[in-house]
Structure 1
Amino acid sequence: MRNPWQRGRLTVGRRPQVMFGRMYEDPAAELSVFPPAGRVLAIASAGDTAAALARAGHRVTAVDISATQLAYARTRLAGGPTVTGTAERLQAVARRAAGLVVPGWRPAAMTEFLRLADLEAQRAHWRERLDRPALRALMRLAFASAGLVRRDLWRALPPRMDRVLRRRLEQGLTGHPNATNPWAWRLLLGRECPATPPGPAAGDIEGGIEWVHADVVEHLRSVPPSWYDAATLSNVLDGRPPAFAAELAAALRHGVRPGGPVVLRTFRDTPPLPGDPLPDRSLLWGAVVRLHPLTAGA
């Protein structure tokens, strides 16, 4: 079956696009379990996670099925500009709509909220000013049909995604200090967090990353046994049939050394492959796990 990410689009249409201008992954998950200075595999996407791993001393192979996304990430990490991808455009529409129905979601009020660092104050602010009935109605309407989003990717989302997303936002925005959470700023305001360093567009790290245009399972099958010390995979099981999980597990057993950590991110609440949850400050993922050793290559 065709990989739904191979089309290079989140929305309907034929021409491939940059889907993600930035990434919404907390690389602290990988850095907490990866062995030092290893040979690691990552999904390229917008390049942020690959950059974080390269900066930490890893030898990174960044793989992506979308040639457009791969070329963008490579150019960006070589010093090129960060562009607005489809995901960022959709987020901007959602933020404007939320601000129309709930004043707390307007940019000035949201900036005030994101400057908070006290979790009790954040919980109170969420309940009183953000999680309002009008927002719930808007989110339910927004997720009532696929609209412009491609149906194969839409079907990968959990049922009642409006409730699921509200729960994930609440957990992230009340469980971690906003003032130092770059993923909260990026998602809810479309701006970079003032407390974090600039993004990964720095030419000094691009040379530490090998770029490969391929399906990740096919790539893992093509490398020598136990080639990688660790791997991080995002969205690779989303939108794929259940049988694909077994193909991925077999490819990991071949391409990742025995016991090598594999981090999996999925929009689903329950990952298709079993694993132990990892700490995560981002707000979108249903599960961020370290796959169990028997699945990942023991």
Structure 2
Amino acid sequence: MSLETQWHAGRLGTAIGSHRLLFGHMYEDAEIEREAFRSGGRVFCIASAGCTAMRLSAHHEVVACDINPVQLAYAERRVRGGGAEVGDAERAMAFARAFMPLVGWRAGVIRSFLALSNVTEQVEFWRAHLDTRRFRAGFDALMSPAILRVVYAPQFLSFLPARFGALLRRRLERGFARAANATNPYARALLLGETDDEPRPKMPCVQFVLGDAAAYLESCAAGSFD
């Protein structure tokens, strides 16, 4: 089964069954797209959990595409006013967070870390209190192919680099060295699972399309999007 058809299957794992809701939230900053596209234009995005579509629809005409019909229907419900739901990705992240106390990551320590707004202090706190030997050993084990295969299909893991856990740890530190935790909703979502619902435009202009994103874009005439 190819990566493309695995997405079409609507499941992160290998079990056979109906499509599932994979993402209850998106974890990419839509401000990148908002800054890149001129206001009033027509833009394309992956529907996923609807977060990017909602943010873009305030100033753009949006086409939101997804290959998973369950995910597409959920994104449309959210854009029309529905509440956030929990997807398989959130369940997997919650499972990983359940091990935090075992490596010394207690709620009070994490909240103190997330309250910081000076990136230098954040890196110092990370190295002194969070990036411990116990954490490194546990995190690297959790990010190993043997454990990840419990949740994810092989197609999603075949391209992962060697020592994936160590790579992610370096990227975490790099992120904490660049953005203030106190104003970073993605840090709070990652470490505590706390997310804010997206602001909804009064009259969202979003067209929802079921299908493969690349195939849809190839079918569009040149100049259809900004």
So what's the TM-score if we normalise by structure 2? 0.91
Structure 1 residue 28: Cα displacement: 1.8
Matches within 5 A, 1:116-127: 116-127=116-127
What SS is found at the alignment partner of 2:177?
helix
Residues 94, 2 of structure 1: alpha-carbon distance in 2 compared, 3 angstrom cutoff: closer
For the aligned residue pairs, the C-alpha RMSD in angstroms reads: 1.6
Matched to 1:189, the amino acid is: L
Residues 147, 2 of structure 1: alpha-carbon distance in 2 compared, 3 angstrom cutoff: closer
* Separation (CA, whole Å) in 2 of partners of 1:115 and 1:178: 6
Larger helix fraction of residues: 2
Matched, 1:169 2:172: yes
Residue of structure 2 in register with 1:97 after alignment: 99
* Separation (CA, whole Å) in 1 of partners of 2:85 and 2:13: 17
Matches within 5 A, 1:44-193: 44-55=47-58, 57-102=59-104, 105-144=105-144, 145=146, 146-192=149-195
Residue of structure 2 in register with 1:38 after alignment: 41
Matched, 1:223 2:220: yes
Residues 2, 189 of structure 1: alpha-carbon distance in 2 compared, 3 angstrom cutoff: closer
Residue of structure 2 in register with 1:199 after alignment: 197
Larger strand fraction of residues: 1
Q: Deviations over 1:30-77 (max 9, x none)?
A: 12221221100000110111111112x111000011111111111112
* Separation (CA, whole Å) in 1 of partners of 2:109 and 2:182: 14
- Kept in 1, the 8 Å contact 2:54–2:200? The answer is no
Q: Deviations over 1:152-181 (max 9, x none)?
A: 112233332101111111111221100001
Matched to 2:109, the amino acid is: A
Residue of structure 1 in register with 2:21 after alignment: 18
- Kept in 1, the 8 Å contact 2:54–2:201? The answer is no
Residue of structure 2 in register with 1:264 after alignment: none
What SS is found at the alignment partner of 1:211?
strand
Residue of structure 2 in register with 1:292 after alignment: none
Matched to 1:199, the amino acid is: D
Residues 221, 13 of structure 1: alpha-carbon distance in 2 compared, 3 angstrom cutoff: same
* Separation (CA, whole Å) in 1 of partners of 2:11 and 2:106: 29
What SS is found at the alignment partner of 1:175?
coil
Residues 50, 66 of structure 1: alpha-carbon distance in 2 compared, 3 angstrom cutoff: same
What SS is found at the alignment partner of 1:210?
strand
Give 5+ residue unaligned stretches, structure 1.
Answer: 193-197, 230-298
* Separation (CA, whole Å) in 1 of partners of 2:201 and 2:41: 21
* Separation (CA, whole Å) in 1 of partners of 2:169 and 2:119: 17
Name the count of aligned residue pairs: 220
So what's the TM-score if we normalise by structure 1? 0.70
Give 5+ residue unaligned stretches, structure 2.
Answer: none
Percent same amino acid at aligned positions?
37
What SS is found at the alignment partner of 2:169?
helix
